[in-house]
Amino acid sequence: MRLCCLACPAPRAAGTYLCPTCWSRLPDPTRRKLNRRDHNAFARLRELTAAIQAGTPLHQITVSNNELRRHLATADSDRGENPFGWSDLPDPDQEKTP
């Protein structure tokens, strides 16, 4: 199975999202952030793919450090909602049992 670069039709290696040529066109700070393996890695990948799909030139693509934190900070804190759609608090509409 041949894997293609997200930004061009060139082949890419397994475990990568861009071919070496396209990867080298990204700004250094963007490459460093995309290389991080932390809880925000998938959010940064989504930012990269969204920018590529929007037609942003590779040399202008930036990704953030804290997209997940931003979503958590803006979630409805009264219900304990999070960006994944589940709540860590009981449903207030549910009947309470004595």
pLDDT at res. 92: 57
76 pLDDT band, cuts 50/70/90, is very low
pLDDT at res. 66: 62
Q: What are the tens digits of pLDDT across the range 17-40?
A: 999 999 999 999 999 999 998 989
Q: Phi/psi of residue 20, each to 5°?
A: -55, -35
pLDDT at res. 2: 86
- Percent of the chain beyond pLDDT 90? 56
CA neighbours closer than 13 Å in the CB half-sphere of residue 66:
5
pTM above 0.85, yes or no: no
